Structure 1
Amino acid sequence: MLFARRSDWNARKPDNGHEPVKTNKGVKVHYTGTRYEPWLEQHALCAMRVRNIQDEHMDGKGDADIDYNLLVCRHGVVFEGRGAYAQNAANGNKELNRAHYAVCALTGSGGYTDVPKKMITGIQDAIAYLRRHGSGWEIAGHRDGYPTQCPGDLLYGHVLNGSLDPGVLWDGGNHIVTDGETLGKISVKYNVPKDYIIMANPDELDSSGKVKAGMKLWIPARGVPLKGADPTPDDDATEFQPFPGAKWFHDEPNSPIITAMGERLVAEGCGHYTKGPGPQWSDADRESYAAWQRKLGFAGAKADGWPGETSWEQLRVPYVGQTPGDFEEFPGKEWFHTEPKSRIITAMGKRLVAEGCGHYTKGPGPQWTEADRASYAAWQRKLGFNGAAADGWPGEYSWDRLQVPEDDD
């Protein structure tokens, strides 16, 4: 399994004095219960999101620690929350918290609501890990035994159909490849994902996973951290947000860049937010950034809370897929109702197709049509909207997240 220990995601020290949970009935599955923004897909932001959840639980709710035993991101990495043998604070009450461990999938009630394959593998790994640490065999949803929508209908469907069960657990060992064997067959035999076997044998296997007779492979155990596998991206592999320019901040922008900046400020211990961080630049952002500037040793006018290039580069804000000025600004709701003919509509249609939301029999083209509206409605539903909020007429929030290129021909 890909396992991020508390030290890997820079967890705060807990204040948990509960009696250890040596055995229990099994695992309850959770989701975040809030919008999970699409720009958070970059794995460099997953640890940041886990830290943010811990802050919400400890500062917002007054809990002793992050509420969950383990958390799983879209990339299949299992984050250590309270960990094994600990009483969680997520299932509803003390009896429920001691009866089952709590595993939270980082998928939401809006935005990203899907459950990708790597996340399913990660949840299986988390359950396998907990079974190796006293957990029983039950796999249930948070809503089982407690009145809540958690973990959402999509994730709960996986609870019901059994796809989250890791199955029989192999404890690790060597395997000699025989004639006719493939990595796929070996994977099925030991119930261990092919990717994990490749990671465990870097000198024998490349990314193609091609094996040959006589090859000696180490087959790792499910629910055991893979040795040498780094679950968190290193700085060299992470793309950072370029400095948007000092003037941009004075315009009080609304952008995912501001949210990512705020998350980094919180992670650096400089957050002065009563809620958020969020996409709208605010006095709380400026106050937090001033704290960061002071942490770097600036003072006076150089620590006024307005970002400068030097302090921004040292903050290392992960790239969120957007640079100011790269994308078409929202033309306004009424503009679309005039059924415009514009290169902007062509660029919009191409982005909708790229997002898997295209409902075109030909095109897309520059003339606004019902096909554009049907495609845009699919995009709104992909973001988690429904009903009148997914009527196919663009709004500013959904437009900003579609990121229509400004110079599309």
Structure 2
Amino acid sequence: MLFARRADWKATKPDNLHEPVTSTKGVKVHYTGTRFEPFLEVHALCAMRVKEIQREHMEGKGDSEIDYNLLVCRHGVVFEGRGWREQNAANGNRELNRAHHAVCAPTGSGGYTDVPEKMVRGIQDAIAYLRRHGAGWEIAGHRDGYATQCPGDLLYGHVLNGSLDPGVLWDGGNHIVRGGETLGRISVRYNVPSDYIILANPDDLDASGKVKDGMKLWIPARGVPLKGADPTPGDDATEFQPFPGAKWFHEEPSSPIITAMGERLVAEGCSEYAKGPGPQWSEADRASYAKWQRKLGYAGAKADGWPGETSWEQLRVPYVGQKPGDFEEFPGDAWFHDQPKSRIITAMGKRLVEEGCGHYSKGPGPQWTEADRHSYAVWQRKLGFNGSKADGWPGEYSWDRLQVPEDDD
């Protein structure tokens, strides 16, 4: 399973200790019930959303900690809340809280209300994890035994049809590929998702999952965090939103960047919003940003609410896949692997040279070459990537940070 521990999402320390639990009847499934904005589909924002839920519970409700034992994002990552050892505060009362562990899937009543396949798998992983730590076999909804609409009709449908049950749990071990087996067949045999097997065998398997007879594979245990697996995204959707420029904010833009900025301001305790952040820049955004600037120690004209590059970088707004400006959109991974000949490649090369990342003997040209790839790898390393994430093949995040001009005239 992909598991984000409390340190990974920078959880706030609880106000006090909670009652321990050693066993329960099983798990109750929850949702947040609020509107789930489409921009939150970007995985880089999931940890921020969990952090915000903790803040809502501790500051808004006065609870000593986030209410749930575990949470599961749309991408199937299981986030550690209170963990398996402690009584939750989500099921309705002390008796209900002690009877079942609580797992929350932060889907909502508006915006994105669906329950994607990866989220279902992540909930299975969370239940498997809790079963390994004393939870019984029951899988119920929050509404079972308590008057509430939670976890919503769609998610509750999965509770009723049994699709959240992880099934028989494999405890981990080796497998020798024989008889023309495929990774899919191996996955079904052990009830372990194929991509988990790929992650557990980085020296033998790539993303294609192609196996050969005689290959020795480690099949990881279901419901156990994968060792060495990074629950955060890579080059395509990670890190933080580049500073859009001071002028951009004065144009009062409407953009997911503004919503993401507002969510970060709320998480930092700098909210001046009456209804919560939205995509349209407003005076509430400016007042909230001024509060952030004052938190950083600025005063007077330097805390006027208009973002500057230094305060923006310190806010660490998660990357949402959009940027202002007249720059080339990311052409897609496959486009570069086709070794294109295009003015976009020339423009990209010129930007790499400007960033001090050029490894060209004669200068950039329109034909994609190994020199372009080597130069791009230097750029990726400059952004902090390494290993397979700095292989020279452009990803969306690093491309947007490069800001390749649309017109190279």
Q: Same fold (TM over 0.5)?
A: yes
Q: What letter is aligned with 1:157?
A: G
- C-alpha contact 1:260 1:317 (8 A) present in aligned 2: yes
Q: What letter is aligned with 1:30?
A: H
Structure 1's 86 and 274: CA in aligned 2 closer, same or farther, altered over 3 A?
Answer: farther
The CA RMSD over aligned residues, in Å, is: 2.3
- Say whether 1:54 aligns with 2:54: yes
| Alignment partners' CA distance in 1, 2:233 and 2:209 | 23
| Alignment partners' CA distance in 2, 1:320 and 1:251 | 20
CA distances 1:376-409 after superposition (whole Å, capped 9, x unpaired) = xxxxxxxxxxxxxxxxxxxxxxxxxxxxxxxxxx
- Further displaced range: 221-230 or 233-242: 233-242
1:19 is matched with 19
- C-alpha contact 1:196 1:220 (8 A) present in aligned 2: yes
2:228 is matched with 228
- Further displaced range: 87-96 or 309-318: 309-318
2:28 is matched with 28
| Gaps in structure 1 of 5+ consecutive residues | 327-409
| Alignment partners' CA distance in 1, 2:11 and 2:273 | 19
1:372 is matched with none
1:100 is matched with 100
- C-alpha contact 2:71 2:78 (8 A) present in aligned 1: yes
**Aligned with 1:302: secondary structure?**
helix
Show the 5 A alignment for 1:283-322: 284-296=284-296, 298-322=298-322
Offset at residue 196 of structure 1 (A): 0.2
| Alignment partners' CA distance in 2, 1:219 and 1:152 | 35
- C-alpha contact 2:237 2:319 (8 A) present in aligned 1: no
1:219 is matched with 219
- C-alpha contact 2:72 2:119 (8 A) present in aligned 1: yes
| Alignment partners' CA distance in 2, 1:37 and 1:237 | 17
- C-alpha contact 1:23 1:136 (8 A) present in aligned 2: yes
Offset at residue 28 of structure 1 (A): 0.5
2:170 is matched with 170
Show the 5 A alignment for 1:114-263: 114-233=114-233, 238=238, 240-250=240-250, 255-263=255-263
2:66 is matched with 66
CA distances 1:304-334 after superposition (whole Å, capped 9, x unpaired) = 22212332244332233444588xxxxxxxx
2:86 is matched with 86
2:41 is matched with 41
- C-alpha contact 1:170 1:190 (8 A) present in aligned 2: yes
| Alignment partners' CA distance in 2, 1:278 and 1:98 | 38
Q: What letter is aligned with 1:35?
A: R
Structure 1's 20 and 275: CA in aligned 2 closer, same or farther, altered over 3 A?
Answer: farther
| Alignment partners' CA distance in 2, 1:280 and 1:119 | 30
CA distances 1:336-394 after superposition (whole Å, capped 9, x unpaired) = xxxxxxxxxxxxxxxxxxxxxxxxxxxxxxxxxxxxxxxxxxxxxxxxxxxxxxxxxxx
| Alignment partners' CA distance in 1, 2:227 and 2:297 | 39
Q: What letter is aligned with 1:130?
A: L
Offset at residue 290 of structure 1 (A): 2.9
| Alignment partners' CA distance in 2, 1:83 and 1:264 | 25
**Aligned with 1:264: secondary structure?**
helix
**Aligned with 2:101: secondary structure?**
strand
- C-alpha contact 2:55 2:267 (8 A) present in aligned 1: no
| Alignment partners' CA distance in 2, 1:322 and 1:218 | 39
Q: What letter is aligned with 1:197?
A: I
Show the 5 A alignment for 1:2-17: 2-17=2-17
Q: What letter is aligned with 1:263?
A: E
Offset at residue 269 of structure 1 (A): 5.3
Structure 1's 186 and 320: CA in aligned 2 closer, same or farther, altered over 3 A?
Answer: same
Offset at residue 32 of structure 1 (A): 1.1
Offset at residue 89 of structure 1 (A): 1.1
| Alignment partners' CA distance in 2, 1:279 and 1:67 | 29
Offset at residue 234 of structure 1 (A): 6.0
CA distances 1:79-114 after superposition (whole Å, capped 9, x unpaired) = 001110211111111111111111111211111111
Offset at residue 153 of structure 1 (A): 1.0
**Aligned with 1:25: secondary structure?**
strand
Identity among equivalent positions (%) equals: 86
Structure 1's 287 and 235: CA in aligned 2 closer, same or farther, altered over 3 A?
Answer: farther
Q: What letter is aligned with 2:34?
A: T
Matched residue count: 326
- C-alpha contact 1:272 1:284 (8 A) present in aligned 2: yes
| Alignment partners' CA distance in 1, 2:246 and 2:191 | 53
User: Which structure 1 residue ranges, 4+ long, deviate > 6 Å from structure 2?
Assistant: none
- Further displaced range: 235-244 or 106-115: 235-244
CA distances 1:251-305 after superposition (whole Å, capped 9, x unpaired) = 6555432221122234445456676344454555334423433455544321222
- TM-score normalized by the length of structure 2: 0.74
